[in-house]
Structure 1
Amino acid sequence: MKYNLTFLLALMLSVQLLQAKITLPNFFSSGMVLQQQAQAGIWGKSTGKSLSIATSWDKKTYTVAVDANGNWKTKLTTPKAGGPYTIELNAGDKIQLSDVWIGEVWLVSGQSNMEMPIQGFKDQPVLNSAEIFKNANNKNIRLFRTIKEAKGLPADNLRGAWQAADSAGIRLFSAVGYLFALELQQKLNVPVGIIQSAWGGTNISSWMSVETFKDFEKENRYKLKHPDSVVKTDRNAPTALFNGMINPLVGYGIKGVLWYQGEHNHREPDFYAKVFPVMIKDWRTRWAIGDFPFYYVQLAPNESVKDGENISLSALFREMQYNSQFTIPNVGMSVTIDAGEQKVIHPANKPAVAKRLAAIALNKTYGFKDIVYAGPSYKNHTVNGSQLILNFDNAAKGLRAFTTPSANFELAGADKVFYPAKAEVKGNAVVLQSDKVQEPVAARYAFKMWVMGDLYNVEGFPASSFRTDDWFAPQYGKK
């Protein structure tokens, strides 16, 4: 009788092992891209006590323990770019992931200008979208678009699926994300994976974790709620989008992040200047892969939103974004001073945004130092009688001469009253003069809510709006 009982227990245990199930987050699936030459995280749940993972690129098998809550996690050593490969997971019940590629993976996030798909929004197209659709057939680009969900507490999964970058796959995908991937893939000649996690009309507080936001709650118009479960909540509730759309991805192997957000916060540059570096640091800490590249897009000029009275809050916000490049490690900014639209907050020229982000990545991340990625940067100025001469960095080959007289420069004297100034390019300098300012003290360029920038270096990259004065100075510092 004892022998039969022992045999029965052993048989039941064997059956349980054979029936052990594995559950994976949606982004671990066939068709995915893993970051090359990395320790790429993979995790999930299982009803067994352990499981094995076999990777076809190196014929290696990993044995992974399952904790008491049914969770497991490990890292896979990935080779140089290539594929397709397979990953087989076995806990009694087998899962095989096929069509797995190894390459470069980027996460793109933010609000509506990052979310804006190739097909555009209603009555708001993406420039050259018909041509982009016609040429969309790059099998080496894979896209994962997360379904938008706000959560009260950190979630461990999200909805979405990997798709090939064909005409159907790109239609609803971020134009900036896809066009950035296209630039990278064509230059690097490796598979590229883009994960889109963006939602229009959202503020930066939504994308911050509770641990980072709580220190700034008193300064923000949105307040933390304290739900007792992972429930749906408002997209602008603090931490809601971090919980629902970033936390599930933490640990997935990425090369870097692209960020396009700020329209919802453009009237509070001081607050943004404080939380932006904190959010970036927090994301980097959670991913635990060092100070990965974090490249962002400067807000484009437009006058579709309310602005300040004495000085343009939009210009101050752009100034804050520009200055953040010099205070946050391993960041870069795509300037869009020439790519806005006067009455539309979603400018059509997403190809320019993506190309400039790609140039930053190719130079700073991938080592193509011959690729120029930055426009003229105000260095200093001198005064010669009634003339004020602006000098620039990032203009070694000179500045591009104005094709028509520029209306974007202003001069002021000691009275701090600005008047339009005539501007003339001379080498890598701009000479300003105004009949109404005989003794100039300060200059400004494109420092308004709505402008169309026209100052470029010879390589064709635009200068950001800037000012030489610190009148009406906000709390954040200048370069």
Structure 2
Amino acid sequence: MAAIFGDHAVLQRGQPIAIWGKAPAGSVVTVQLNGESVLATADGGGKWRARLPAMAAGGPYALSVGANGGTSTVNDIMIGDVFLCGGQSNMELPMAQATNAAMDVAFSASPLIRFVNIPRDSSAVRLDDFKTVPQWQVAGAQTTGQASAVCYHMARALQRRYEVPVGFVNASWGGSTIQSWISGASMRKMAGYAQALDVVDQYAADAAAGMRAEEVRQQAWWETADPQARAQRAWAGKAFDDSAWPVMQPAGRWNESGIGALSTHRGVAWFRTTVELTAQQAAAVTHLLLGQVATADTTWVNGVRVGANTNWWTGREYAVPRGVLTPGRNVVAVRVLGDDQGGGLVSPAGQRALRTADGARIALPLRWKYQVGSQLSATQPPTPWEAPTSLGTLYNGMIAPLQGYAFKLAAWYQGEANAGAAREYRTLLPLLFDDWRQTFAQPDLPFLVAQLTSFGAVSTTPGRSAWAELRQAQSAAVRNDPHAGLAVTFDFGDRSDIHPSQKAIVGQRLARAARAVAYGEKITPGGPEAVSASRSGEDVVIRFANTNGGLRTYSSDTAIGFEVCEQDACRYARATAEGDTVRLPGAATVRASKVRYGWSDAPFINLFSMDDLPASGFELDLN
């Protein structure tokens, strides 16, 4: 059987149940579950797939597969509702780190709630099965702490309401972009990705060829972005004479180094060091470790490009091809592209080393040569097979192997890594919906989206907000999909922590959306949503849907966070809630063109429905 079928698994009720795996070519395979038995035949490659009839909720059962006189059995199988939960770190955050974890985990035991965390795997090749076998677990004091907190709270709320077994599959990766979770075939529908996707395919077929193709792609970008890139490329070489370069001991961002030339530098800086190796050491080294680099780097060993990364929080670990290192002197060169806070090799020096096949480490020198490069405000393209900012590789390794498993719904909590690209996200999120629905052959698979929370700088004047724009993109994708629901979360965010620990509220709001979208209850899926803004004399009147009995404001008789704009010039506006509308007195000036609400990375808001759900932030044209 495929790796996803294990002890304690939950299979989706009310839908035909697909079971698949591998057996000797031509084998007749017998699959048995809950009194039902079906046959399948392994194809020439040994793959087989069987289809059991739909079943009602129940269990526990044994699932057995027999072929060629042998039988494999997994036990304690339940039939119920199965949820697929995906995204980045706020979906990944475990119950052990969530608010009230001690109590929630200690009293979580329930044979009717199960979960499985899909092991992290970024693959350039679409996988038929998981490389590492996922382990289904039953909720309890010793296990629940490992479960996705958001997904657990959603599942617990739905299990209590519908009183059937539930299981959730958590496939998430902190810091991941949405492009990582969409298949390469679907990503090719997007303009601008063909070349990078071609490189991923080359890398999948031949890693060395893929590396060379990526070096060409990256160098073309650099020569467009930086006029000095072509000449400075020589600085990566082993033979380059860096004797005139100054020396420093990297230990943080360069704007904190006290070096005048670097203190206000925004752009490129180069770092070089040498390491002496014996013949035995040179043959044994497999990886170069640099720790964290802010923000993006490209790294060479003896003039051979070994890797690049664009995520400052990711420790650099680059494979060094055999034969690149030699006995005697070896050179490591790193080109760093910083940001507004500077850049550099930011980890402690002890994290920079060469690692051998047996795990031994050869420390790199404490002091490095450096040279200030071009002033440059640009974003280096990510290496397209490197998670978490890859193209399709998390889909390949963590979603594709689930093809055939049936789900009641999918829950998605992601977007932080795509903030700043909201316009593209308006296309990418619906593309993800379509891609997963096609993968699982469930064209109406309900999708629940946890909207970005509140994080970052507060606003004292109206202005642009990358997070507000991303929230608007999420709202638009859900609004335009009849099988999607939205959970607004920014009233329970933490402006100083991108990972707010209050996950119970998020899970409960996703569960409410599920009741409407996936279970068909005649309730609103969420809270107030602005649907129109129009002039009424000298005032602007904004009409809301889903107010669930009317709008109300907390801690004031006015609603805060509203803005009226004349094109891109916005100002705060006084606002009062009246039934299902909000009125902005005197805001309907001749040049007023749009209105906004909660338009900030970390907005302060106080407009809620009568049943305590926050109004979603928005930007609306004024009619």
The answer as to whether partners of 1:411 and 1:437 remain within 8 angstroms in 2 is no
Shift of 1:202: 0.8
Report whether the alignment pairs 1:81 with 2:57: yes
Q: State the match for 2:532 in structure 1.
A: 380
Instruction: Report the CA distance shift for 1:222/1:203 in structure 2 as closer, same or farther (over 3 A).
Output: farther
Counterpart-to-counterpart distance in 1, 2:587 and 2:186: 51
- Aligned positions of 1:37-116 closer than 5 A: 37-47=14-24, 49-57=26-34, 59-91=35-67, 92-116=69-93
User: Cα distance, 1:186 vs. partner?
Assistant: 0.2
Q: Distance in 2 between matches of 1:457 and 1:253?
A: 35
Q: Separation in 2 of the partners of 1:279 and 1:423?
A: 37
Equivalent residues in 2 for 1:386-397, closer than 5 Å: 386-395=538-547, 397=549
Contact 1:419–1:437 (CA<8 Å) still a contact in 2? no
1:289–1:383 Cα change, 3 Å: closer
Q: Which is greater in Rg?
A: 2
- CA deviations on 1:268-320 (whole Å, 9 max, x unpaired) are 11211122222221221121132211111111121179xxx952122111111
Pick the aligned partner of 2:101 from 129, 144, 156.
129
- Cα offset, 1:438, TM superposition: 9.7
For 1:268, which of 421, 425, 433 is the aligned residue? 421
**Counterpart AA for 1:258:** A
Q: Which residue number corresponds to residue 173 of structure 1? A: 147
SS at match of 1:258: strand
The answer to whether the aligner puts 1:218 opposite 2:192 as a matched pair is yes
| Root-mean-square deviation (Å) | 2.7
1:365-410: CA deviations, max 9, x gaps?
21221x4422111122343454322221112511123323543122
Residues 279 and 440 of structure 1: CA distance in aligned 2, closer, same or farther (over 3 Å): closer
Matched residue type, 2:526:
A
**Cα separation, 1, equivalents of 2:547 and 2:149:** 30
Report Cα offsets for 1:339-375 as digits up to 9, x if no partner: 2211211122211111111011112221221x44221
The match for 1:142 is 114
Is the counterpart of residue 433 in structure 1 residue 585 in structure 2?
yes
1:153-176 CA-partner distances (Å, limit 9, x unpaired): 011222310000112212122101
Q: State the Cα distance separating 1:229 from its structure 2 match.
A: 5.0
2:229 is aligned with 1:255: no
Q: Is 1:25 matched with 2:177?
A: no
> In structure 2, what residue type is equivalent to 1:39?
P
Among 144, 165, 168, which residue is 1:191 paired with? Answer: 165
Matched, 1:400 2:374: no
CA distance in 2, matches of 1:68, 1:304: 59
Name the counterpart of 2:605.
453
Name stretches of at least 5 consecutive residues in structure 2 with no aligned partner: 208-318, 320-384
CA drift of 1:441 comes to 5.3
Aligned-pair CA distance for 1:460: 1.5
Matches of 2:173 and 2:515, distance apart in 1: 27
- Are the counterparts in 2 of residues 337 and 463 from structure 1 also a CA contact under 8 Å? no
Q: Which one-letter code corresponds to 2:516 in the other structure?
A: N
Identity value in percent:
30
Q: Could you say what secondary structure the match of 1:254 adopts? A: coil
For structure 1, the residue ranges without an aligned partner over 5 or more in a row are 1-23, 121-125, 472-479
**TM-score scaled by length of structure 1:** 0.85
Query: In the TM superposition, what whole-angstrom CA distance separates every residue of 1:213-257 from its partner, at most 9, and x where no partner exists?
Result: 123362599654222459895212211101100110111121121
Match of 1:244 in 2: 397
Aligned mates of 2:411, 2:490 — CA distance in 1: 18
1:191 to partner: Cα distance: 0.3
Paired residues of 1:210 and 1:239 also in contact (CA < 8 A) = yes
Moved more, 274-283 or 293-302: 274-283
Distance change in 2, residues 1:195/1:438 (3 Å): same
**Cα pair 1:114 1:175 within 8 Å, conserved:** yes
Q: Which moved more, 1:216-225 or 1:66-75?
A: 216-225
Question: Which structure features the higher share of strand residues?
Answer: 2
For 2:394 and 2:118, locate their aligned partners in 1 and report how far apart those are by CA, in whole Å.
Answer: 11
Kindly indicate whether the alpha-carbon contact (under 8 Å) linking 2:595 and 2:622 is maintained by their aligned counterparts in 1: no
Q: Deviations over 1:402-458 (max 9, x none)?
A: 32354312234x575332222222222222236997986543211112113321111
Using a 3 Å threshold, how does the CA distance of structure 1 residues 163 and 388 change in structure 2: closer, same or farther?
same
The 1-side partners of 2:428 and 2:534 are apart by 35
Residue-by-residue CA offset, 1:6-28 (whole Å, 9 max, x unaligned)? xxxxxxxxxxxxxxxxxx22211
Task: State whether structure 2 residue 138 is matched by structure 1 residue 164.
Answer: yes
Q: Distance in 2 between matches of 1:428 and 1:78?
A: 44
In the alignment, is the contact (CA less than 8 A) between 1:419 and 1:436 conserved in 2? Answer: no
Mapping for residues 411-430 of structure 1, pairs under 5 Å: 411-412=564-565, 414=566, 417-430=569-582
Partner of 2:476: 323
- How many angstroms apart in 2 are the aligned matches of 1:134 and 1:434? 55
Alignment match of 1:339 (pick from 492, 501, 526): 492
